[in-house]
Amino acid sequence: LQGTGRGDCESGIDLWLSEKVRAENCSDFSHIVQSCGRIVHKFYGIIWIRNWATNRNLEYYGIKQIDLVVISHDDYDHNGALPSLKKQFIVKKVIDNPNIKKISLGSLTLMNLNSFANLYSDSNNQSIVLYGNIAHLNFLFTGDIDQSVEKNIIQQYESLPVDVLKVAHHGSKTSTSDEFLQFIQPKIAIISVGKNFYGHPSLEVIERLKKHNVILYQTNIHGGITFSYRYHFYYLKTAK
């Protein structure tokens, strides 16, 4: 959701959407994955690509064309891999406009909850914040927003049920407030983070998540994290 803080990974792409992907070694069902430093998605859905995501990784999943790339905001760790991605693959469309209302591909629609981007001068709070239902689970991808945008979202919506939260700004203590967690009540949270000089993830955020009984996964501990849905069952797999 959607990147990693500077010092966490050198460069990246926030997410891409591919309407149809087929690979001989894969079954036909939805996957959604989060990782730092490796390819993170198989089929119709969402993917984060980091600076170590290579042509070989993508080809392993039978990917030759990317229908849609979404950049949450204009920071190098969120958009730095785009030029190399375009050299290696057919990229049909790139979205990086913070004022976009929603993104759609096939039957999948994700809404941008951050309608307040124009109120801020810093790129983090201009992040595209995506919310939507994927394979019967509500996902929230928060970019690098801080607690001020979280408050705006709380005031904007009467309710916002979340099953899976991509924790904002790699677990920075300036995000993921108690108030926000109480409002969205996530069941599972993922922190995308690697080695960094900023103390991410903050112990304060980890304690907040524990306080709200949220099951927590971190890419610096668990590696790549995969959510799968098949035959009415959900599966969560970690690389470590």
- pLDDT single digits (tens) 126-171: 999 999 998 888 999 999 999 999 999 999 999 999 999 999 999 9
CB 66 within 8 A of CB 90: yes
Q: What is the pTM of this model?
A: 0.80
pLDDT digits (tens, 9 = 90+) for 45-104: 344 444 344 455 566 667 777 788 888 888 877 777 778 778 888 888 888 899 999 988
Alpha-helix runs per DSSP H in the chain? 55-60, 76-79, 82-88, 147-156, 178-184, 203-211, 219-222
Bond preceding residue 201 cis, omega within 30 of 0: yes
Whole-angstrom distance, CA of residue 185 vs CA of residue 190: 14
Least confident of 8-17, 27-36, 189-198, 201-210: 27-36
232 torsion bin: left (phi>0), alpha (psi -120 to 50), beta (else): left
Whole-angstrom distance, CA of residue 38 vs CA of residue 57: 8
Q: Most distant CA pair in the chain: distance in Å?
A: 48
